[in-house]
Amino acid sequence: MSDGYPTKTVIGLEVHVQLKTQTKLFCGCSTEFGAEPNTQVCPVCLGLPGALPVMNEAAIDLSVKAGLAIDCSIPPMTKWDRKQYFYPDLPKGYQISQFDLPICADGFIEIDDPASPGQIRKLGIIRAHLEEDAGKSMHDEAAGKGDTKIDLNRCGTPLLEIVSQPDMRSSDEAKAYLNELKLRMTHLGISDCEMQEGSLRVDANVNLHIDVDGKNVATPIVEVKNMNSFRAVERAIQYEIDRQYDIWEETGKTIKDEAKTTRGWDDESGKTFLQREKEESADYRYFPDPDLLPIRLPRDRVESIRASLGEMPAQIRQRLQGQYGIKPYDADVIVNQGVAMITYFETAATKSDDGKRTSSFIQQDVMRLMNERSISIEDYPVAAESLGDLLGRVAKGELDNGRARDVLAHMIDKGVSVDDAIKDLGIESVDNNEIEDLCRELLAANPAVVQDYKDGKKQAVGSLIGQAKKKNANANPQVVRQTLIQLIEQE
Amino acid sequence: MLDSVSEILRLQSAGEASAVEIASAALDRIETADGTINAFTHLNRELTLAAAADVDRRRSAGETLGPLAGVPVAVKDVLCTHDMPTTCSSKMLHNFHPPYDSGVVEKLRAADAVIVGKTNMDEFAMGASTENSAFGVTKNPWDTTRIPGGSSGGAAACVAASMVPISLGTDTGGSIRQPAAMCGVTGLKPTYGRVSRYGLIAFASSLDQVGPIGWSVQDIAPLMETIAGHDKRDSTSLNLDVGSYVDAIKGTDLTGIKIGMLRESMEAEGVDPTIKEAVKEAAKVFEKAGAELIDINLPHSEYWVPTYYVIAPSEASSNLSRYDGAHYGHRAADIETGAELGPLVTTYCRSRDEGFGAEVKRRIMLGTYALSEGYADDYYNKALKVRRLIKSDFDAAFSQVDLLLGPVTPTAAFPLGSKVDDPIQMYLCDLFTTGANLAGIPALSLPAGKDADGLPIAIQLQAPALEESRLLFAGSVFQLVTDHHTDRPNTERPDTTKGVQS
């Protein structure tokens, strides 16, 4: 494809975010994930004849919060509509959704341009509307039986469907958009955004605009579904970009020749596969749900939610840079980890009074262990205060980074305090006279190094630092280096 | 007399009859008469007697009892009951046992009423004759060759045949008032939102409302007082205080009340002259009681029926989607795996084809069409606009008058089978009733005499939203002066002494 015509990729994402309410959108049933099938149901979410929906106000507040977090406008009035289709996991034969007056409209998300870091890309959001989730169909196709089991626990769970403009130009941008969206939703407690549990679902609409000698040719739009991680979204989009170009080269088919098709993503083979040949222009026969009243959203309600938003991730990134002297990249890494990590960092950095060192320890040592053990920062074995305490001692020169790593490892292994770990490892601060003696001894034994240094090979002293550490493990390499140089230059 | 609520209450408090004796008398009467009338889809003697015995036990224990203690009540089979099936007179729901009580049934039980059974209706409340029932037609107690009206035909007929003193019906386009008129009894369609729809199996959600049927305003006032009020499980239920309807109907003087005479109704074609005459007679009665009469027109009344027959089927097509054979209700058997549309869609199609009757299918198709892309603007959305105009007509009228007077039906009860093949003629039965549903206002049907064949005819009073008290008061005054509501069909009379201590 890289040898072919210049191509612009056009990507729009539809993201379903499950709102973190205690109860469902129109009844009092629990939204807890993982219960026995069909145990979190009642006449309302089962769609029993005669049962009626009653709106969950908490879902409205969370939706407004979500909308404000992605710079949407919130209309003074919104309403519920019925979207009608037959499916076994949709017990009423219609889904209560929002058609022409969504609760949030016309927003955007800014990302750091993956193609040119430091540049901002503004990605539009068309709308976000609230709707109830359907149940879950579990197809048991073993032995050609074709049985389907229905679990209605999820039925009626509040979902916010966030529809982007087709503004993304690469899979990297799509991923950055999703990361930022997830960050804001989790940061504000709007959603858990766990793709594995289905609390965040992504459909990607992808096509290519190919520049054929100055003429723009668009390939048919494909909607990709069934992706269960951001990585999968990225791979699926990349796969589609290549596939669509190849197919276009082969058949010449453009958007005018073929209606939108739906393809599934197979993570194992790394390929998309055809699900629905032609998107039948489904007629959902939307109409206002007569069982529910329109929702009025007075300005003061919206403004009080806006006031409760607090600091948004972008602001936190700025603040961390200023307050702790860390680089934009480092602030980004920490903030992207979510609220718990931000709190962990701030606590540790305040205690250590060394933001840079704290940031680098967190990104290297702490996050490495989190990855190895697949744990979140909440489950990391060393408390933020203790890490800060340890790094504060490094900052004061009581021990070096290397020894600090040993101490941290010991604290994790034995579950002991900083003091006990230092004691267990026999670490004590070495006074400068002792270091000086050690350095004199080493210089005397290594005249070649001294000569090399004098000849301009300043890095030659490095070999002596290693020897110093062997003779006294507590010797601070920085101090050793300085002392060695000082002694040579005094000669 | 076992057909008066106040008498039944008096007999018990005076110790002259027990709730069990009253319930037994009702059940015996139903056993005797219902073979012909077919007002009930479900009866449960044991449950009924147990509920009555409970009232007696608590009375003798000196407990405070509810306002309808020991009063037998029949409930239209569209209202969910946890201890009886709820079928909507449809094959689709023939075996549906709701796990819960509807809001109004809860209130009946809380008022210590004794629910004797479920009454027959047009399938899913769609019809004006109770001929669209999967469980056979209900017959008019005044003339068993005729229809009782519909869709609450069973609820009106069981009162008219003196099986129970009061019953609950539902009214979407006239389904309480029209059968009440044709059966010579009194029926009230309350303000939309005044009575909970929770557990009322929906036909058209923006129009459906539960209401009382009985011989007289005196009898339905305490029932209305029982069922009215807010229910947080119904979002369209109004959270407003309900006054006492029993207190509201005390008095005889209508001085200061302005009554609008509906010009369009009186000039409408195809209306039985005796009905027009009865309306005029009633107007004189009201005038005599002190009311002032004013001519009123509702300019868009010719659009009531067409508007109704777009909105109601549209909502119905959606509300009835859930009956797909997958969850409950009728499910087609033996779907072959090689079916052309696949097993799932074939199950849907065949279950719905087998489970629904012709009228229900007709309305689902009408509504589906009216909501379809490309047609919704011409039908459903246009109907919503006209509905607003209709409502404005009523608002304008009620800025001049307190009540509106007119007919309920164009004719008295017609012979069974005479309109079943002509849906348009059947729909025109709703000529005068759908306006109140579209505007959400309360309306009352009052017996007003007999036509040339000796069949009951009726007048209709309509009031602004939430003015049930005014409506019932005027109706009560009318019934103090007239005796149309005391006429009984010339069928075998109930033995009022049976089961009653002498």
Among the listed residues B151, B167, B196, B445, the single catalytic one is B151
The interface predicted TM-score (ipTM) is: 0.94
Best CA proximity match to A358, nearest among A391, A325, A389, A330? A391
Confidence band for B498, pLDDT divided at 50, 70 and 90: very low
Burial A45-61 (b: 16+ CB within 10 A, else e): bbbbbbbbbbbbeebbb
Best CA proximity match to A10, nearest among A165, A126, A117, A119? A165
Average pLDDT for A290-305: 97
Least confident of A419-433, B199-213, B462-476: A419-433
Measured distance CA(A336)–CA(B378) in Å, rounded: 51
Confidence band for A142, pLDDT divided at 50, 70 and 90: low
Q: Any catalytic annotation for residue B162?
A: no
Q: What angle do CA B68, B70, B71 make, to 5 degrees?
A: 60
User: In percent, how much of chain A has pLDDT > 90?
Assistant: 71
User: In percent, how much of chain A has pLDDT > 70?
Assistant: 97
- The bridge status of strand B403-407 relative to strand B258-262 is parallel
Confidence band for A281, pLDDT divided at 50, 70 and 90: low
Say which residue, B54 or A429, is predicted with more confidence.
Answer: B54
For testing the chain B interface, which of A92, A149, A287 should be mutated: the one with the most B CBs within 10 Å? Answer: A287
- pLDDT score for A338: 86
Contact B380, B371 (CB under 8 A): yes
Average pLDDT for B89-110: 97
Length, in residues, of chain A: 491
Among the listed residues B76, B107, B139, B419, the single catalytic one is B76
Say which residue, A474 or A405, is predicted with more confidence.
Answer: A405
Flag if B80 and A49 touch (Cβ within 8 Å). Answer: yes
Q: Any catalytic annotation for residue B301?
A: no
Peptide bond between residue B151 and the one before it cis (omega within 30 degrees of 0): yes
- pLDDT score for A1: 47
Q: Which residue of B has its CA nearest to A48?
A: B98
Chain B residues with CB under 8 Å of A281 CB are: 373
Measured distance CA(A82)–CA(B369) in Å, rounded: 16
Contact A70, A125 (CB under 8 A): yes
- pLDDT score for B16: 95
Say which residue, A266 or A475, is predicted with more confidence.
Answer: A266
Contact B359, B127 (CB under 8 A): yes
B487 pLDDT exceeds 50?
Answer: yes
- pLDDT score for A296: 96
DSSP 8-state code for residue A30: B
Contact A100, A80 (CB under 8 A): no
Q: Residues 6 or more apart from B71 whose CB is under 8 A from it?
A: B5, B8, B9, B22, B113, B114, B165, B166
Shortest distance between the Cα of B84 and any Cα of chain A, in A, equals 14
Q: Per-residue DSSP letters for B196-235? A: --TTBPPSSTTT--EEEEESSHHHHHHHHHHHBS--TTST
Chain A residues with CB under 8 Å of B328 CB are: 48-49
Measured distance CA(B281)–CA(B268) in Å, rounded: 18
Average pLDDT for B174-181: 98
- pLDDT score for B326: 85
Flag if B318 and A91 touch (Cβ within 8 Å). Answer: no
Contact A471, A438 (CB under 8 A): yes
Q: Which residue of A has its CA nearest to B345?
A: A86
Flag if A52 and B198 touch (Cβ within 8 Å). Answer: yes
DSSP 8-state code for residue A22: S
The residue type found at B375 is Y
Measured distance CA(A27)–CA(A25) in Å, rounded: 6
Measured distance CA(B90)–CA(B345) in Å, rounded: 21
Say which residue, B168 or A459, is predicted with more confidence.
Answer: B168
- pLDDT score for A280: 59
Chain A residues with CB under 8 Å of B326 CB are: 88
Chain A residues with CB under 8 Å of B233 CB are: 52, 54
B245 pLDDT exceeds 60?
Answer: yes
Report CA dihedral (B369, B374, B378, B383) to the nearest 10 degrees. Answer: 60
Half-sphere exposure of B14 (CA within 13 A, CB side): 11
Least confident of A431-445, B92-106, B227-241, B374-388: A431-445
- pLDDT score for B502: 33
Shortest distance between the Cα of B283 and any Cα of chain A, in A, equals 37
Q: What domains can you pick out in chain A, each with its CATH number?
A: 7-296 (no CATH), 311-424 (no CATH), 432-490 (1.10.10)
- DSSP-derived 3-state class of residue A416: coil
Measured distance CA(A411)–CA(A418) in Å, rounded: 7
Output the pTM of the full model. 0.90
Q: What domains can you pick out in chain B, each with its CATH number?
A: 5-259+400-486 (3.90.1300.10), 303-378 (no CATH)
A120 pLDDT exceeds 70?
Answer: yes
- pLDDT score for A323: 95
Q: Any catalytic annotation for residue B196?
A: no
Measured distance CA(B2)–CA(B286) in Å, rounded: 29
Q: Per-residue DSSP letters for B403-448? A: EEEEES-SSSPPBTTSSTT-HHHHHGGGTTTHHHHHHT--EEEEEE
Q: Which residues, in sequence order, are bridge partners of residue A203?
A: A14
- pLDDT score for B220: 98
Measured distance CA(A347)–CA(A356) in Å, rounded: 13
B242 pLDDT exceeds 90?
Answer: yes
